[in-house]
């Protein structure tokens, strides 16, 4: 297989991570989630960890320089040779240019890139993220309405305590949506101009969306 990079675009809660994982399994290439990489760093008791925590907990983007450094370090690991999937990077046009730089630096040239924009309304995003609960212990995902645990507040897998992600509160969700809208139009336009964009309706079942993506890429 030629090295291929698939980039998922869409608002928070649009299912980028879920669709990225499905594609990852199918193709046997890694998914790189910027949000996960940042949450890993955030846990550390370091200057960098504290800087990231301040931004992420407020629903603000970390600086382009920092995002580029983190993504560069991850892409240069040796599991990306056959391609990879990006979830949450780039999030704006300036980061698209930074990604070009990283790809040229790591691979010597630009690989084939395909962006998949998962469209979901703001109302749906608020419903999905507001009800999301995550196990403190094993990281399993639940939703109070769509995927409730058997016992309220308790993980089915490990009986850990279920919590709301710090940035899934109403106020921070609103802020994350504003960040998204501020940057998304020009980012989508950038991919369109490169002839690298497909769009899918994200308000359907996970399987339907997955099939649609497989048909289009």
Q: How many CA atoms lie within 13 A of 64 on its CB side?
A: 13
**Range 86-145, binding ligand AMP (CB under 6 A):** 88-89, 91, 95
Confirm whether 16 is a catalytic residue.
yes
CA 179 and chain centroid, separation: 14
Nearest CA to 56 out of 107, 91, 7 is that of 91
Using CB under 6 A, which of the segments 30-38, 72-80, 99-107, 153-161 binds ligand AMP? 30-38
Q: Which of 42, 91, 128, 133 is catalytic?
A: 91
User: 16 φ, ψ to 5°?
Assistant: -60, -50
Q: Choose, by CB under 6 A, the member of 5, 29, 62, 99 that binds ligand AMP.
A: 62
The verdict on 55 binding ligand AMP (CB under 6 A) reads yes
Confirm whether 165 is a catalytic residue.
yes
Confirm whether 91 is a catalytic residue.
yes
Distance CA 45, CA 53 (A): 10
Confirm whether 127 is a catalytic residue.
no
How big, in percent rounded to 5, are the helix, strand and coil portions of the chain?
50, 20, 35
The verdict on 56 binding ligand AMP (CB under 6 A) reads yes
**Range 147-166, binding ligand AMP (CB under 6 A):** none
Q: Choose, by CB under 6 A, the member of 12, 149, 190, 202 that binds ligand AMP.
A: 12
| DSSP 8-state code for residue 78 | T
Distance CA 198, CA 31 (A): 19
Q: Which of 42, 74, 133, 176 is catalytic?
A: 176
120-151 per-residue burial string, b: 16 or more CB within 10 A, e: under 16: beeeebeebbbbbbbbeeeebebeeeeeebee
The verdict on 14 binding ligand AMP (CB under 6 A) reads no
The verdict on 60 binding ligand AMP (CB under 6 A) reads yes
Positions touching ligand AMP (CB under 6 A) are 12, 34-35, 38, 55-56, 59-62, 67, 88-89, 91, 95, 167, 176
Catalytic residues: 16, 91, 132, 165, 176
């Amino acid at each position: 297989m030629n090295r291929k990079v698939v980039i998922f675009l869409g608002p928070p809660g649009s299912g980028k991570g879920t669709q990225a994982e499905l594609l990852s399994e199918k193709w046997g290439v890694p998914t790189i989630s910027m949000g996960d990489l940042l949450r890993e760093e955030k846990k550390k008791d370091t200057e960098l960890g504290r800087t990231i925590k301040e931004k992420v907990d407020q629903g603000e983007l970390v600086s382009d320089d920092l995002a580029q450094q983190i993504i560069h370090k991850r892409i240069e690991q040796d599991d990306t040779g056959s391609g990879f999937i990006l979830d949450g990077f780039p999030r704006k046009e300036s980061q698209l240019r930074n990604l070009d730089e990283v790809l040229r630096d790591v691979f010597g040239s630009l690989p084939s890139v395909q962006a998949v924009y998962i469209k979901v309304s703001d109302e749906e995003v608020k419903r999905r993220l507001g009800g999301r609960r995550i196990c403190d212990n094993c990281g399993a995902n639940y939703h109070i309405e769509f995927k409730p645990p058997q016992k309220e507040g308790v993980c089915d897998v490990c009986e850990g305590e279920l919590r709301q992600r710090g940035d899934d509160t109403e106020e921070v969700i609103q802020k994350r949506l504003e960040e998204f809208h501020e940057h998304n139009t020009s980012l989508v336009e950038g991919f369109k101009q490169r002839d690298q964009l497909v769009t899918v309706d994200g308000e359907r079942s996970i399987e339907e969306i997955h099939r649609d993506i497989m048909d289009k890429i």
